[in-house]
Amino acid sequence: MRAEILAVGTELLLGQIVNTNAQYLSQGLAELGIDVYYQTVVGDNEARLRQAIQIARSRADLLVFTGGLGPTLDDLTRDALAADLGRGIGLHEPSLRKIEEMFAGRSAELIESNRRQAMLIDGALPLRNDTGLAVGNALSADGKHYLLLPGPPREMKPMFDNDGSDWLRKLLGESAALRSVMLKFAGIGESALEELLMDLIRGQTDPTIAPYAKEGEVCIRVSTKASSEEEAARRLEPTLQAIRARTERYLYAEEDIPLEAAVIRLLTRRRQTVTLAESCTGGMIAASLTTVPGSADAFLGGVVSYSNEVKHKQLGVPLTLLEGPNAPGAVSSETAAAMAEGMRRAADSDFALSVTGVAGPAGSEGKPVGLVYVGLSEKGKGVKVEKLQLSGDREGIRIRATKRALYLLWLTLTGQGEFVKE
């Protein structure tokens, strides 16, 4: 089954709202074994919407709509599709009663436009809305299938996950679903990783190998279509083994989790702790770690030591390193080492990471933008420092420094090698 997603709303075209629904639906449809070939965004204009429907119907078996089911006159999705199919629209009484009860409970007046949210295309299956008012529609006509979902993500997601997916599974019967394993990598760029796996990527048939990249991390989705988890595992395993053998130093997870989650998981299992001494990252490493549930068991805290005064007073970095004509300066291997050691001793943690550098937009201490030093102090083993020369804008440098610091801690925790020394 081939699908097209049609997101309806002028606000999407104006960039006032990001179309996160399309991403969510693409992932969900792929898991059901439905191939999404096109995504269309169309404004609140009935003529253009009907044109988009006709184009989508010419190239897809399933049309999935989001948006345009609300109470206002510019909520046109249901009306446009009904007109295109030559069908009428009627009230779905259970949905109307739900709306009436909600307004009565709030002691609010039910105006006529709110009744529009209970409208159903003739012959459509109603899809319950557990988090809102607009009823969804699912129908088939002339060999094509139509799924109408509300626009707000908090309404769309549960409707798709429940009634919408159930309806699609019945359409699909016993067809094979797409099953995937997400491999997550750090410490290597997309191009370098692709080079390691080039022969596997070029020779792929089933399973397929699809690389993706974002700041500081790369992921690969390995996918196959299979009718059961057992069959999928059998098909996927030879490819997964081949990738593991070449990428062990960079492969930090075989599930879709961020690097910080993998680090917290390792520290927790080992019953060890980490602290942070951040300068140019400005607390970004701490922020990433504290997004992980349960991070309090492993992350004790840290210091954002942006100024030399804080580096000296809070972390014990000697002024002889920070100031003076012959001092290495705040952005140096020596200062990174002293920051990490000072933080670990002060908190009595098992590990302490430090980051000091020049994020830009201008250089500092006569040193170039992107020069960053990462230090790691480990209890009983001393301190190690890595020198980085990162590219990009200020935010990109901070993100890459954050990911690199976490990767170096992950390398140490997994015993996968020493730092690249300066």
> Each residue of 224-253: pLDDT tens digit?
888 788 898 999 999 999 999 999 999 999
Kindly state whether residues 358 and 391 are assigned to the same domain: yes
The angle formed by the CA atoms of residues 240, 242 and 248, to the nearest 5 degrees, is: 85
Q: Report the 10 Å Cβ neighbour count for 111.
A: 9
Kindly state whether residues 39 and 82 are assigned to the same domain: yes
| pLDDT for position 422 | 42
* DSSP states of 268-328: HHHT--EEEEESTTTTHHHHHHHTSTTGGGTEEEEEE--SHHHHHHHH---HHHHSSTT--
Report, as an integer, the average pLDDT of 134-139: 96
Kindly state whether residues 17 and 165 are assigned to the same domain: yes
The amino acid at 384: K
| pLDDT for position 227 | 78
Report, as an integer, the average pLDDT of 181-188: 94
Report, as an integer, the average pLDDT of 10-15: 94
Share of the chain above pLDDT 70, in %: 97
Kindly state whether residues 120 and 201 are assigned to the same domain: no
Question: What residues form DSSP beta bridges with 64?
Answer: 5, 147
Q: For residue 367, what is the DSSP state?
A: B
Kindly state whether residues 214 and 265 are assigned to the same domain: no
Q: How far apart are CA 246 and CA 241, in angstroms?
A: 9
Q: For residue 364, what is the DSSP state?
A: B
Q: Give CA torsion, residues 22, 26, 27, 28, to 10 deg.
A: 100
Report, as an integer, the average pLDDT of 97-111: 81
Report, as an integer, the average pLDDT of 3-30: 94
Does residue 420 lie in a domain region?
Answer: no
Does residue 187 lie in a domain region?
Answer: yes
pLDDT category at 174 given cuts 50, 70, 90 is: low
Kindly state whether residues 268 and 296 are assigned to the same domain: yes
Report, as an integer, the average pLDDT of 342-361: 97
Among 253, 284, 318, the domain boundary falls at 253
Which of these, 280, 285, 238, lies nearest to 260 by C-alpha position? 285
CATH number of the structural domain spanning residue 240: 3.30.70.2860
pLDDT category at 416 given cuts 50, 70, 90 is: confident
- Residue 418, pLDDT above cutoff 70: no
| pLDDT for position 36 | 94
| pLDDT for position 279 | 97
Q: Which range has the worst mean pLDDT, 106-115, 221-230, 348-357, 385-394?
A: 106-115
Does residue 293 lie in a domain region?
Answer: yes
Among 217, 237, 253, the domain boundary falls at 253
Q: How far apart are CA 243 and CA 4, in angstroms?
A: 32
> Can you give the residue range of the structural domain that contains 292?
259-414
Backbone angles phi, psi at 288, to 5 degrees: -70, -40
- Residue 283, pLDDT above cutoff 70: yes
Q: Report the 10 Å Cβ neighbour count for 176.
A: 14
Does residue 83 lie in a domain region?
Answer: yes
Report, as an integer, the average pLDDT of 24-45: 91
- Look at the chain and count its residues: 422
| Burial class of residue 310 in the structure, from the number of CB atoms within 10 Å of its CB (0-12 exposed, 13-18 middle, 19+ buried) | middle
Q: Report the 10 Å Cβ neighbour count for 48.
A: 14
| pLDDT for position 109 | 77
pLDDT category at 419 given cuts 50, 70, 90 is: low
- Residue 323, pLDDT above cutoff 70: yes
Report, as an integer, the average pLDDT of 262-278: 98
How are the residues of the chain apportioned to helix, strand and coil, as percentages rounded to the nearest 5?
45, 25, 30
Q: How far apart are CA 419 and CA 111, in angstroms?
A: 67
Kindly state whether residues 165 and 182 are assigned to the same domain: no
CATH number of the structural domain spanning residue 284: 3.90.950.20
Report how many domains make up the chain.
3
Report, as an integer, the average pLDDT of 134-150: 97
Residue whose entry in the numeric block shows the structure tokens 């020069």: 371
- Three-class SS of residue 355? strand
Kindly state whether residues 284 and 308 are assigned to the same domain: yes
Among 135, 152, 172, the domain boundary falls at 172
Kindly state whether residues 111 and 240 are assigned to the same domain: no
| pLDDT for position 112 | 76
Higher pLDDT, 293 or 422: 293
Does residue 421 lie in a domain region?
Answer: no
Is residue 268 within 8 A of residue 298, CB to CB? The reply is: yes
Does residue 182 lie in a domain region?
Answer: yes
Q: How far apart are CA 379 and CA 302, in angstroms?
A: 16
Kindly state whether residues 352 and 234 are assigned to the same domain: no
Query: What's the mean per-residue pLDDT of the chain?
Result: 93
Kindly state whether residues 338 and 387 are assigned to the same domain: yes
- Residue 48, pLDDT above cutoff 60: yes
28 is written with which tokens?
């969900």
| pLDDT for position 52 | 98
The angle formed by the CA atoms of residues 160, 165 and 170, to the nearest 5 degrees, is: 150
Kindly state whether residues 192 and 340 are assigned to the same domain: no
Does residue 419 lie in a domain region?
Answer: no
Is residue 334 within 8 A of residue 422, CB to CB? The reply is: no
Pairing of strands 274-278, 351-357: parallel
258 is written with which tokens?
């961020």
Q: How far apart are CA 47 and CA 35, in angstroms?
A: 27
Report, as an integer, the average pLDDT of 133-158: 96
| Burial class of residue 348 in the structure, from the number of CB atoms within 10 Å of its CB (0-12 exposed, 13-18 middle, 19+ buried) | exposed
Is residue 48 within 8 A of residue 42, CB to CB? The reply is: yes
| pLDDT for position 211 | 84
- Residue 53, pLDDT above cutoff 60: yes
Highest mean pLDDT among 30-34, 127-131, 143-147: 143-147
Report, as an integer, the average pLDDT of 166-171: 92
Report, as an integer, the average pLDDT of 18-23: 94
| pLDDT for position 175 | 59
CATH number of the structural domain spanning residue 67: 3.40.980.10
Q: Which range has the worst mean pLDDT, 56-60, 69-73, 120-124?
A: 69-73
Does residue 422 lie in a domain region?
Answer: no
* H-run or E-run covering 6: strand 2-8
- Three-class SS of residue 206? coil
- Residue 166, pLDDT above cutoff 70: yes
